[in-house]
């Protein structure tokens, strides 16, 4: 009790001395409103008055108050004239129980209410902690800042930068220079960033790089990222890059919880390993499954050294072929509807797979790539040849065209032939489609509805196409048509196009195969059969092997290029050889039967095989046509 009485008398004496000092210095301005500092406690108080200097020293558990702000320290020195306090040791500033600031040194201007703290400086509002070698806090504006590097900790997120400004009321932090945000799931680096500690949303205002633990990287210059929910919305053409490729668009939304990314506006997806690009106005990327779904005028570009291939469709989809997957088309679920935006529906989408109607196994195909023309010419048996050479010209001279209209050409029955040529296995034989020895990730591409393909060497249309990089085969479904050399049309119920180095190498027309080659105005060479295998050399159709109910109509020219006759024939197997895009030789094998019509007496009503359809109007004329 005596101690408190003594302290009260002591403080009264101090106030009396202060009043006397003010009387001695009448020219000292009055304190600014709100700048008065109340002295709550100090173990020892020492005053110093000399000339124009007036200072007070507080030693031991000093406590001050200004408005709703309390100051605690071990010792302090107050300049009574400038109203500035220098405090030392265990400093704690408590502003209305909302912001707490700590340090071992404080310089505080009571007039401007700006505090500067050093030595283990720290600011916290209960949820966020900011540390740095030097912190400044503006009591009026309620802004904490550092200009000599600092760190903000908010939950599991840690942000560092050279400069930082924390607005305590809106809980907004502005980081400047060498900004780094480290989270257990990712790291973010940039030169400038806004971060709301309440919502945990980082607003991007400068070129920013986000590296995720899944080894994907995002580059963005504008947008925001919710560090708590893992959702981001980025504009101004951001880019996502991973081990398989990159995706860029006008705007990208991403959801880390589901692994989904939504790209809108001029999307470009690049498979760097396969030199393939996918363009569209909208895309959905599953970063976990590594799939890409493209809609709104999608266009696939497969780069080659000389002849780049372009493919357009209503929808394009690309997925990963996992080890052990068969070459049959994957089964599907969930392509009925693509969510408009993850902001409307953030639930995890099911794994996107191709539609059910593509769930068909690829039956075996024929071999015979290495068979030589010399083998063809030397084979004995039931063989009939149509050739454009001098021998055929002599045959023509022997025909009495005035008397002969239809000449039946019988087969040579002296030697029994096998069912197929040496080196050519029947299409029912099995064929192992061995995957290339490539450690790179294998992908498949699915295009469906109104598929159009264009390259300089071939063009195609179909309802749907499936391509696998594992076997490098394009599979065309539902009314497929392929044009080669701009004069040859190939069609069938299903067409398989085999490629090597992304260049057509072989074609298989399964069921109702039909080949039409334009020989001239309203004149068409035609080949028809159950299964047709075509071989490509130097990006040009070289020869074709027809099996099962094979039929042909072809126009024969002499060496001068004049038309001599029209040959119509049928047999079990037909081989057709091309030269410079035109039919050069037709070889009929096993039970051939045919008719030769002199060109001038050809019956026009019999010059088309059943189901003939010259579909040239569907042929894509240029790559630009696919871009619109």
Q: Is the pLDDT of residue 363 over 70?
A: no
Cα separation, 622 vs 627, in Å, equals 9
**pLDDT surpassing 60 at residue 428:** no
Query: CA angle, corner 590, sides to 584 and 595, nearest 5?
Result: 60
From residue 264, give the alpha-carbon distance in Å to each of 203, 250, 346. 20, 6, 17
What is the spatial distance between Cα 353 and Cα 293, in angstroms, rounded to a whole number? 10
The per-residue pLDDT for 328 is: 53
Q: Is residue 237 part of a domain?
A: yes
Whether residue 231 lies inside any domain: the answer is yes
* CA–CA dist 180, 191 (Å, integer): 9
pLDDT of 565-579, one tens digit each?
A: 998 988 888 888 888
| Same domain flag for 254 and 386 | no
Question: What count of Cα atoms within 13 Å lies in the side-chain half-sphere of residue 421?
Answer: 29
**Residue 250 class from Cβ within 10 Å (0-12 exposed, 13-18 middle, 19+ buried)?**
middle
Q: Is the pLDDT of residue 24 over 80?
A: no
The closest of 481, 482, 476, 479 to 464, measured between CA atoms, is: 476
CB neighbourhood size of 34 (10 A): 12
185 confidence band (pLDDT: 50, 70, 90):
confident
Residue bearing the bigger pLDDT, 274 or 334: 274
The contacts found for 173-177 with CB under 8 angstroms, 24 or more apart, are: 173/128, 173/130, 173/197
Task: Compute CA distances 329 → 321, 336, 477, whole Å.
Answer: 10, 18, 12
452 & 576 share domain? yes
Tell me if 287 sits within 8 A of 261, measured CB to CB: yes
Opening angle at CA 441, ends 439 and 444, nearest 5 = 135
Under 8 Å between Cβ of 43 and 57:
no
CA 415 to chain centroid:
61
pLDDT value at residue 34: 63
For the cut 90, the answer to whether the pLDDT of residue 461 exceeds it is yes
Examine residue 305 and state whether it is found in any structural domain, yes or no: no
Question: Residue with structure tokens 């607005």?
Answer: 167
> What SS3 state is found at 392?
helix
Q: Pairing mode, if any, of strands 251-255 and 260-271? A: antiparallel
Q: How many domains does the chain have?
A: 2
Distance CA 57, CA 350 (A): 71
E strand spans, 306-457 = 309-312, 315-320, 383-387, 407-409, 443-454
Report how far residue 497's alpha carbon sits from residue 512's, in angstroms, rounded to the nearest whole number.
16
CA distance 615 to 603: 23
Question: Do 437 and 401 meet the contact criterion of CB atoms below 8 Å apart?
Answer: no
Backbone angles phi, psi at 167, to 5 degrees: -95, 105
pLDDT at 287 over 70: yes
Burial class (CB in 10 A: 0-12, 13-18, 19+), 390: exposed
Q: Which has more confidence, 342 or 497?
A: 497
Q: Hey, what are 109's tokens? A: 């201007």
d(CA 347, CA 370): 54
Whether residue 97 sits in one domain with residue 235: yes
Lowest mean pLDDT segment, chosen from 9-18, 109-118, 343-352: 343-352
Query: Is residue 103 domain-shared with residue 215, that is, in the same domain?
Result: yes
**pLDDT 10s digits, 507-525:** 899 888 999 988 888 899 8
> Quick check: is 5 in a domain?
no
Residue where a domain stops, chosen among 236, 253, 271: 271
Domain boundary, last residue among 205, 239, 271: 271
Burial 366-375 (b: 16+ CB within 10 A, else e): bbbeebeeee
What's the pLDDT tens digit per position in 392-410? Answer: 343 333 333 332 333 333 2
**Does residue 17 have a pLDDT over 60?**
no
Segment 14-20 mean pLDDT: 44
pLDDT at residue 591 in the model: 80
Residue 44 included in any domain: yes
What is the C-alpha to C-alpha distance for residues 24 and 47, in angstroms, rounded to an integer? 16
- 504 domain residue, yes or no: yes
pLDDT confidence tier of residue 204, bands split at 50, 70 and 90: very high
Four-residue CA torsion sign, 510, 513, 517, 521: negative
Domain containing 473: what range? 373-431+440-626
Where helices occur in 100-246 by DSSP H, the ranges are: none
pLDDT at 330 over 60: no
Distances in whole angstroms, Cα of residue 575 to Cα of each of 382, 523, 528, 583: 13, 20, 11, 11
- Confidence check: pLDDT of 278 > 50: yes
- In angstroms, rounded to a whole number, what is the distance separating the alpha carbons of residues 361 and 466? 12
Burial of residue 328, with CB atoms counted within 10 A of its CB: 0-12 exposed, 13-18 middle, 19 or more buried: middle
Highest mean pLDDT among 326-340, 348-362, 526-540: 526-540
Structure-block tokens of residue 180:
């780094």
Whether the Cβ atoms of residue 293 and residue 352 lie closer than 8 Å to each other = yes
**Mean of the per-residue pLDDT values of the chain:** 77
Do strands 503-520 and 523-537 pair parallel, antiparallel, or not at all (unpaired)?
A: antiparallel
In a domain, 235, yes or no: yes
d(CA 173, CA 22): 44
The partner residues of 267 in beta bridges, in order of sequence, read 280
pLDDT of residue 410: 29
Query: Which distant-in-sequence residues (6+ apart) come within 8 Å of 372 by Cβ?
Result: none
* pLDDT over 60 (residue 494): yes
φ, ψ of residue 260 in degrees (nearest 5): -100, 145
Query: End of a domain among 225, 249, 271?
Result: 271
- Say yes or no: 96 and 241 in one domain: yes
Nearest CA-CA partner of 260 in 320, 354, 349, 352? 349
CA distance 175 to 194: 6
Dihedral Cα 512, 450, 501, 582, nearest 10 deg = 50
Lowest mean pLDDT among 169-178, 352-361, 557-566: 352-361
Of 304 and 6, the structure prediction assigns the larger pLDDT to: 304
Residues 6+ positions from 134 with CB-CB distance below 8 Å: 116, 117, 118, 121, 146, 147, 148
Q: Could you tell me the CATH number of the domain that includes residue 45?
A: 2.60.450.10
**Does 247 lie in the same domain as 99?**
yes
Categorize the per-residue pLDDT at 2 as very low, low, confident or very high, splitting at 50, 70 and 90: very low
CB-hemisphere CA count at 13 Å for 240? Answer: 32
User: In angstroms, rounded to a whole number, what is the distance separating the alpha carbons of residues 404 and 398?
Assistant: 11
Residue whose tokens read 């059943």: 610
Residue count of the chain, please give it.
Answer: 628
Least Cα distance to 263 among 300, 231, 238 occurs for 238
H or E, element range at 112:
none
Mean pLDDT lowest for which of 54-68, 101-115, 294-308? Answer: 294-308
Does the structure show a pLDDT above 60 at 349?
no
- The lowest-confidence range among 89-93, 424-428, 433-437 is 424-428
CA distance 35 to 50: 24
Residues 388, 518 within the same domain: yes
Residue 588 pLDDT greater than 90, yes or no: no
Name the nearest CA neighbour of 198 among 138, 263, 152, 246. Answer: 152
Confidence band, pLDDT 50/70/90 cuts, at residue 329:
low
Q: Is residue 325 in some structural domain? A: no
Task: For residues 45 and 192, state if they share a domain.
Answer: yes
């Amino acid at each position: 009790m005596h101690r408190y009485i003594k302290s009260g008398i002591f403080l009264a004496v101090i106030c009396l001395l202060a009043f006397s000092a003010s009387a001695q210095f009448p020219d000292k301005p009055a304190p600014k409103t709100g700048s008065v500092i109340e002295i709550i406690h100090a173990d020892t108080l020492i005053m110093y008055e000399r000339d124009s200097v007036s200072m007070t020293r507080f030693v031991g558990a000093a406590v001050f108050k200004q408005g709703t702000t309390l100051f605690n320290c071990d010792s302090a020195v107050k300049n009574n004239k400038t109203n500035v306090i220098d405090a030392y040791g265990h400093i704690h500033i408590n502003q209305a129980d909302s912001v707490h600031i700590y340090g071992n040194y404080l310089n505080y201007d009571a007039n401007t209410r700006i505090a500067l703290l050093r030595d283990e400086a720290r600011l916290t509002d209960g949820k966020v902690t900011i540390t740095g070698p030097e912190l400044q806090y503006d009591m009026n504006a309620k802004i904490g800042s550092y200009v000599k590097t600092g760190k903000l900790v908010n939950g599991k997120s840690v942000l560092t930068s050279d400069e930082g400004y924390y607005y305590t009321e809106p809980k907004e932090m502005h980081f400047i220079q060498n900004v780094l945000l480290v989270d257990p799931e990712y790291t973010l680096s940039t030169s400038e960033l806004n971060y709301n500690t309440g919502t945990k949303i980082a607003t991007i205002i400068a070129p920013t790089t986000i590296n995720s633990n899944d080894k994907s990287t995002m580059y963005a210059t504008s947008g925001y990222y919710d560090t708590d929910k893992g959702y981001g919305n980025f504009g101004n053409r951001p880019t996502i890059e991973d081990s398989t490729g990159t995706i860029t668009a006008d705007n990208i939304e991403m959801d880390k919880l589901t692994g989904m990314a939504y790209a809108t506006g001029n999307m470009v997806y690049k498979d760097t390993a396969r030199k393939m690009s996918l363009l569209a106005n909208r895309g959905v990327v599953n970063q976990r499954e590594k799939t890409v779904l493209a809609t709104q005028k999608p266009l696939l570009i497969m780069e080659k050294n000389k002849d780049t291939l372009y493919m357009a469709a209503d929808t394009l989809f690309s997925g990963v072929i996992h080890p052990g997957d068969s070459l049959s088309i994957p089964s599907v679920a969930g392509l009925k509807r693509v969510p408009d935006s993850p902001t409307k529906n953030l639930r995890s989408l099911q794994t996107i797979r191709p539609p059910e109607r593509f769930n068909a196994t690829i039956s075996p195909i024929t071999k015979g790539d290495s068979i030589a023309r010399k083998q063809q010419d030397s084979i004995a048996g039931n063989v009939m040849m149509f050739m454009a050479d001098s021998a055929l010209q002599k045959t023509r001279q022997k025909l009495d065209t005035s008397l002969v209209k239809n000449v039946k050409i019988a087969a040579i029955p002296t030697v029994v032939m096998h069912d197929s040529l040496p080196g050519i296995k029947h299409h029912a034989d099995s064929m192992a489609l061995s995957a290339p020895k490539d450690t790179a990730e294998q992908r498949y591409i699915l295009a469906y509805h109104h598929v159009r393909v264009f390259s300089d060497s071939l063009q195609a249309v179909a309802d749907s196409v499936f391509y696998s990089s594992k076997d490098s085969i394009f599979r065309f479904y539902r009314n497929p048509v392929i044009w080669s050399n701009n004069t040859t049309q190939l069609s069938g119920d299903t067409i398989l196009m085999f490629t090597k180095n992304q260049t057509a190498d072989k074609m298989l027309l399964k069921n109702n195969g039909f080949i039409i080659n334009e020989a001239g105005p309203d004149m068409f060479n035609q080949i028809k059969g159950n299964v047709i295998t075509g071989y490509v050399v130097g990006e040009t159709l070289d020869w074709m092997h027809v099996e099962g109910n094979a039929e042909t109509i072809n126009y024969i020219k002499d060496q001068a290029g004049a038309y001599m006759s029209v040959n119509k024939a049928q047999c079990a197997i037909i081989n057709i050889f091309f030269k410079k895009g035109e039919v050069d030789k037709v070889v009929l094998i096993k039970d051939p039967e045919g008719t030769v019509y002199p060109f001038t007496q050809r019956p026009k009503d019999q010059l088309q095989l059943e189901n003939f359809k010259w579909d040239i109007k569907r042929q894509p004329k240029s790559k630009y046509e696919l871009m619109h």
